[in-house]
Chain A
Amino acid sequence: MSKYNLVVGFETHVELKTKTKIFCSCANEFGGEPNTNCCPICLGEPGTLPQLNKEVVKYAIKAGLSLNCKIPQEMSMDRKHYFYPDLGKSYQTTQSSRPICLEGYLTLDSGKKIRINHIHIEEDASKLVHDSKNIYIDNNRGSTPLIEIVTEPDISSVEEAREYIEKLQAILRHIDVSDCKMQEGSMRCDVNISVHKEGEPLGTRTEIKNMNSISFIEKAISYEYDRHVDLIENGQKDQIIQETRRYDEKTDSTESMREKEDAQDYRYFPDPNFFVLKIEPSFVENLRKMLPKLPSEIKAELIEDGIDEKAADLLTKYKNVSDFYLEAKKYGDNKIIATYILGEIFRSMETEEEKENFDIKITAEDLGKLSLLQKENKITAHIAYSILPKMLKEGRPHTAYLTKEDLVSVDNTEVDKLCKEAVDAMPQAVKDYKAGKEKAIKAVVGYVMRATKGKANPSYTEQKILELIQ
């Protein structure tokens, strides 16, 4: 099997979270009462004209910059024509000849660059609800702003596909242009797949439309890879045709959507209701300066700060988590905060979505201060971990849970004294340790811990005991 290379490209639609729609001042919100966020413009009524949202242009440029794109000095809008009940004007206003961003890339952990062909802005179609007899149209989603990010076919494994999407989500969330929630449709992927043997030209590609979950994308790519390879191996290469397919999660397979070929003449042409938009390099540079740090930059800084790579990865995967972490860090100890988040707090969250939202009852400041108490030996890790679940559940500050007793710090001279006492009291353990049984030292430390009711700093204690017996 492995003699066939997998070749994958992505076209990813991302909903921008601007306040208004792309061409009118209706609220960019949907999911509520149908047809309540619409006006003559987004309904496509006669005589209406589009008014491009300035913020959409800014968001798209930000996305382009964070994906290393070039921003050409001119962009224009085009019309793409097709008839369907989800498209009031019977054309979608999009970009084809002069998109807003060109030629970028996203770097995977391996250092491999996935090239971005271009990013363009466009309007979303309205939402249709189907039943056996009727189609129901809700125009609230009609004309909400999208960017479409189109890659070159540079992805060559299922793992790379997952990493590409996860990194893309993290970046777009960090620069705050989209929620990128696949399950809610604010990020949707069309995936192009082909296979070929090393050194041979690319195979015929098929496209799987409208994927809204990473695991389905993985499964669909695997399925489609196997299907292509099987057909080639069985001498039926000609049955791989350029077509659009749908992934069916119930059967874990893809099927042809059998679109009419002649219906695909979209007749793109420049929309005369727009001017060609000039984008000055100085405007782009200002946006570049305002961009927050990207996940890859934050991760590098965390590693520099002594956080290990795996933890740094997890802390920067979700924007809300990394925002919280960076804020908490201001008030306490970075490493201890990382263990709180990745340990106790993540344990309280079952789904990816909960981690994504990171909607917790503790403030970053409070968590930071808690870590400081631990760092300064005013409380032990044991105590911190025992109150964290309560804080998460009840939302009161850490001070509400700490008793006077918890807070009594143990004087180091007291600990030093106890260490001496312990070494004297446990000669067998000391002997064992010296004979190479490293674990034996724990018993001696345990003596001190018991004596201080867990308030001594274990690592300090261990250090002290080692000094005494050497």
Chain B
Amino acid sequence: MPHSLINLATQLQRKEISSVELTTEYLNKIKKQNKKTNSYIFTNEEVSLNQAKKADEIIKKGSPSVLTGIPMSLKDNIMTIDMPTTAASKMLAKYIPSYSATVYTKLLNNGAVLLGKTNLDEFAMGSSTLNGYFGETSNPYDTDKIAGGSSGGSAASVAEDTSIYSLGSDTGGSIRQPASYCGVVGFKPTYGAVSRNGLIALASSFDQIGPIAKNVEDARIVFNVIKGKDEFDMTAFEIPRTTRQNPVIGIDEDSIQKIADKDTLKVFEKAINACKKLGYKTVKINSKYDDLYIKLYFVLAYAEMASNMGRYTGIGFGYHTKSSYIDTDDFIRKTRSEAFGDDVKTRVMFGNYMLSGDNMKKYYYKALKIRHDLIEDYYLNIFNKCDFILSPTTPTAAPRKDHKYSSVEEGSLPNIFALPANLIGLPSITIPFGMSSENMPIGIMLSGKKNFDNALFTVAKNFEQYSEHKSLDIK
């Protein structure tokens, strides 16, 4: 069994181990392991050990929280005043944050120890963690395979136990998909449950920060620390406490059968069996919008991305061109062209295409309306039948790094099950549940109604008991 948060917290509080010892052990492990997986972009021993010393003092005084002294990592699109924040882009490679994200402040207030910043796709635009400025992250189970993304570094670090838990961000599956590929738990909260202040914006109406952890309980503990209203995010609010007795589980069998591969279906079958063992009633559900998820995401999320990427001009902060230029526009153009990777460029171009001229009405506003219809449809036709939706997290286990997708649609299929939660703002969790024929992890995903984050954790924990996942044991 890998180190879990609860176990380590007990050991720390019984003073069987100190945070400085634990942190040193993890920093050494990162040095070794990062050569294989490249989960981390940046570490700073001095910062980490100082935090660990502080944590040990808090423990000595006898006023620790469960997170005190526990080493963790943050996806490198979360602002940290004491470590660089690069979004894995040349644009921010030398950027020094002048403030910390609300989630980081909350963790530090609980005595957490930051080991370092984990790798991602540039500006979190991608599902592979292959295209960042600081290189690829590999799957700890098989380094020829992808870790998934965009929170690939976070998922890999938890899987390989170079951090006890990590925070990622999920815009269209970016926490859950890599967590599933790497065999760990990943949770995307209800939209607004966690402050986005200090998260480098990708698509603002989709983005949520959430925990990646070794088990459901660990994820729940971390979520309870980072959640809540925040004076720095108007869209953040306090979610109510929720429970659900005898939940009904909805399953969209038709689309799962159509999209998922054999290995995945086999593991998913076990999840359906778990429902029976738990005494959960299951019902068949379907959404009339399921072939629109990716399309809506392309129009709406890319438009928001194009807008959010505007601030990178090289004037106030970030990379700026060293070549000659003739005017302001030329400077901005050269800066952006030199610093953005291809995926960022494509998304900015397509996003602006969807927003420009007649397309604004034809595509953007149309997609906004359909998004609203979709939300309505989920509540009227799906959540009237069930409390939670169960599906595989991804249609397949982690593919090889050299795997080529033949179309834009196919390239987005790994996120097809995850997307509705982002379009609607639902809480959604992935749990590692079994292994593929190639011994790669396969996860199942549960999503609940908005604000039912607590109830979702309870149900997920019940499923977890029946998991046949095999954790890695990297010394």
Contacts and interface: CB of A to CB of B under 8 A. Distances in A.
Nearest to B310: A90
Given A46-B92, A48-B197, A49-B234, A89 B311 contact: yes
A427 interface: no
A47 B235 contact: no
A223 interface: no
Interface residues of B, number: 44
Given A46-B200, A49-B233, A40 B307 contact: no
Given A81-B310, A267-B360, A47 B303 contact: no
B355 interface: yes
Contact of B315 (A85, A269, A273, A275): A85
A81 B307 contact: yes
Given A47-B101, A275-B234, A91 B307 contact: yes
Interface in B315-334: 315-317, 328-329, 332
B157 to A, nearest CB: 21
Interface string A29-51: 00000000001100111111111
A88 interface: yes
Contact of A40 (B99, B201, B235, B304): B99
B98 A45 contact: yes
Contacts of A268: 360
Interface in B351-398: 352, 355-357, 360, 364, 368
B364 to A, nearest CB: 6
Central interface residue in A81, A90, A139, A275, by most chain B CB within 10 Å: A90
B335 to A, nearest CB: 11
Given A46-B87, A91-B307, A272-B205, A85 B197 contact: no
Nearest to B303: A269
Chain A contact surface mostly: loop
Given A46-B87, A48-B197, A91-B310, A269 B364 contact: yes
Interface in B300-317: 303-304, 307, 310-311, 313, 315-317
B289 interface: no
Contacts, number: 104
A135 interface: yes
Contact of A47 (B201, B310, B360): B201
Q: Interface size bucket, A side? A: 20 to 34
Contacts of A90: 310-311, 313
B196 A83 contact: no
B164 interface: no
A49 B234 CA distance: 8
A20 to B, nearest CB: 13
Contacts of B231: 51
Interface string A78-105: 0101011100111100000000000000
A267 B316 contact: no
A9 to B, nearest CB: 25
B355 A267 contact: yes
A259 to B, nearest CB: 12
A83 B356 CA distance: 15
Interface in B70-113: 77-79, 85, 87, 92, 95, 97-99, 101
A460 interface: no
B8 interface: no
A50 B233 CA distance: 7
A46 B78 CA distance: 10
B307 A49 contact: no
A79 B307 contact: yes
Contacts of A274: 234-235
B402 to A, nearest CB: 32
Instruction: Say what secondary structure dominates the interface of chain B.
Output: loop
A265 B354 CA distance: 12
A137 interface: yes
A83 B310 CA distance: 8
Contacts of B316: 43-45, 88, 137, 139
A175 interface: no
A47 B200 contact: yes
Contacts of B205: 272
B204 interface: yes
A52 interface: yes
Interface in A270-308: 270-275
A265 B205 CA distance: 23
A137 B315 contact: yes
Given A46-B79, A81-B307, A90-B311, A265 B356 contact: yes
B197 A47 contact: yes
Contacts of B98: 40, 45
B199 A273 contact: no
A272 B305 CA distance: 11
Contacts of A48: 99, 197-198, 232
Interface string B184-215: 00000000000011111101110000000000
B199 A47 contact: yes
Contacts of B79: 46-47
A83 B307 contact: no
B332 A83 contact: yes
Contact of A275 (B77, B92, B196, B235): B235
Interface in B412-438: none
Contacts of B85: 46-47
Contacts of B204: 271-273
Contacts of B328: 83-85, 135
B364 A49 contact: no
Nearest to A41: B232
Interface string B224-237: 00000001111100
Contacts of B304: 272
A399 to B, nearest CB: 53
Nearest to A77: B234
Contact of B360 (A79, A91, A269): A269
- A79, A81, A83, A275 — most chain B CB neighbours (10 Å): A83
Given A46-B87, A47-B199, A49-B197, A83 B234 contact: no
A90 B360 CA distance: 19
Interface string A228-270: 0000000000000000000000000000000000000101111
Given A49-B234, A91-B307, A273-B235, A267 B329 contact: no
Given A49-B233, A79-B307, A85-B313, 7 more contacts: A47-B198, A48-B198, A51-B234, A52-B234, A88-B316, A91-B310, A267-B307
9 contacts: A43-B317, A46-B87, A48-B197, A48-B232, A49-B233, A91-B307, A137-B315, A265-B356, A267-B307
Nearest 3 A/B pairs, CB to CB: A90-B310, A272-B205, A267-B355
Interface of A: 39-40, 43-52, 79, 81, 83-85, 88-91, 135, 137, 139, 265, 267-275
